Amino acid sequence: MTGIVRIDTSPLDRVADPIDPAKVLAGAPVTGTRPATEDDARGFYTGVWESAPGTWSVDYAEDELCVILVGRLRLTSEAGHAEEFSAGQSFVIPRGFRGTWETIEPVRKIYAILTA
């Protein structure tokens, strides 16, 4: 990747990929992703992701920047600390975070993930 990459933030055409049933704690959440960049050599990935309401367990092996475009969600750590985010807010989930992701209202976000 050597040039500027525009990220299309419009709604996805399809949001129907189920979360691993072993991780689902409530609801029947489905997601969709539209990658903007995928750089395996650098371990850097960007794009747009959407989720329908539901709650599932998460265990982050990567760092992720999230910019919420629409919707509302709650992240709760294993220790019970909860943070809620909505449209216009941004946050970073650090590598090693464990807890739950709860999509309260359908979410669309821009993501930037670093795995290296």
Instruction: Record the tokens describing residue 97, joined without a space.
Output: 């975070």
**What is the DSSP secondary-structure string of 11-27?**
PPS---EEPPTTTEEEE
Percent of the chain beyond pLDDT 90?
95
The whole-model pTM stands at 0.94
Q: What is the mean pLDDT of residues 1-21?
A: 92
* Domains along the sequence of the chain with CATH: 17-114 (2.60.120.10)
Predicted confidence at residue 100, as pLDDT, reads: 99
Predicted confidence at residue 45, as pLDDT, reads: 98
**Coil vs helix vs strand at 62:** coil
Q: How many CB atoms lie within 10 A of CB 113?
A: 18
Local confidence band at 59 (pLDDT 50, 70, 90 cut-offs): very high
Q: What is the mean pLDDT of residues 90-113?
A: 99
Pairwise CA distance, residues 101 & 16, whole Å: 17
Predicted confidence at residue 2, as pLDDT, reads: 72
| Contact between residue 15 and residue 89 where contact means Cβ atoms under 8 Å apart | no
Residues 65-89: b if buried by 16+ CB within 10 A, e if exposed: ebbbbebbbebbeeeeeeeebeeee
